[in-house]
Amino acid sequence: MKLRLVRPATLLLDTSAGRVLVDPMLRAAGTSPPIENTPNPKPNPLVELPFPADEVLDGVDLCVVTHLHRDHFDDLIPLDLPILTQPESADELRARGHTNVSTAHPAFAMTRGRHGTGSIGEAMGPVSGWVVDGVYIAGDTILCAEVHDALERHQPRAIVVNGGGARFNEGDPITMTAAEVATLPIDTVVVHLEAINHCLEPRSAYPGAIVPLDGERLEL
């Protein structure tokens, strides 16, 4: 698989199912309010796209949406582009006018996660990850039983983790931290860094992982 990080959890994947766009956030830097009740109240996204949105969308066959938080989906994709998503997000996407939404695909296996702990995790709602061509795209999740189950069940050769230790002013982190990533037993790519105001850990916090820059290409 070839992977290109766009920004921050937006990925382009060249897979056996074609070119896949994951969690598109394509709007210009600073055009959205900060995620509230967080330690770094700056407008989002914090950085510009590394290349134009038209280039991000060029040749895309399928869009994977792990969940509908605004730093993972901003409706700036064609309404007829096929979308693969978790069951809890499908009806909302259709209500927004997207005409080709499914919750299953023969090349993908859906996984689950936890977007935080306790009442905050419950309020954040359901999230999904996806395994394709032996690579596990974990999505917005802390390290939890669901992640360990996915690793055991699918035996991926690599995992792509949304890191940054994202958090609110109260409670525990809602995405993986550097300490959690350091315990993962396989090759780990860390994204979701330095682009959204509630993600506090920088790229330099992940010395043992593969940490691409925005726009960078990898082969997994």
Mean pLDDT of the chain: 97
| Strand ranges of the sheet holding 101-102, from the earlier edge strand across to the other edge | 101-102, 83-85, 62-65, 18-22, 11-15, 2-5, 217-219
CA-closest candidate to residue 6, choices 33, 24, 20: 24
- The domains found in the chain, sorted by start residue, are 2-212 (3.60.15.10)
| Residue 51 DSSP class | S
Phi then psi dihedrals of residue 129, to 5 deg:
-125, 175
Q: Helix, strand, or coil here: 206? A: coil
Q: Kindly report the pTM of this predicted structure.
A: 0.97
Mean pLDDT (whole number) for 128-133 = 98
Distance CA 50, CA 37 (A): 28
Question: 78-95 burial, b if ≥16 CB within 10 A, otherwise e?
Answer: eeebbbbbbeebbeebee
pLDDT for 143 equals 98
Looking at the DSSP bridge assignments, the partners of residue 4 are 12, 217
Backbone phi, then psi, for 55, in 5-degree steps?
-70, -35
The 10s digit of each residue's pLDDT in 139-180 is 999 999 999 999 999 999 999 999 999 999 999 999 999 999
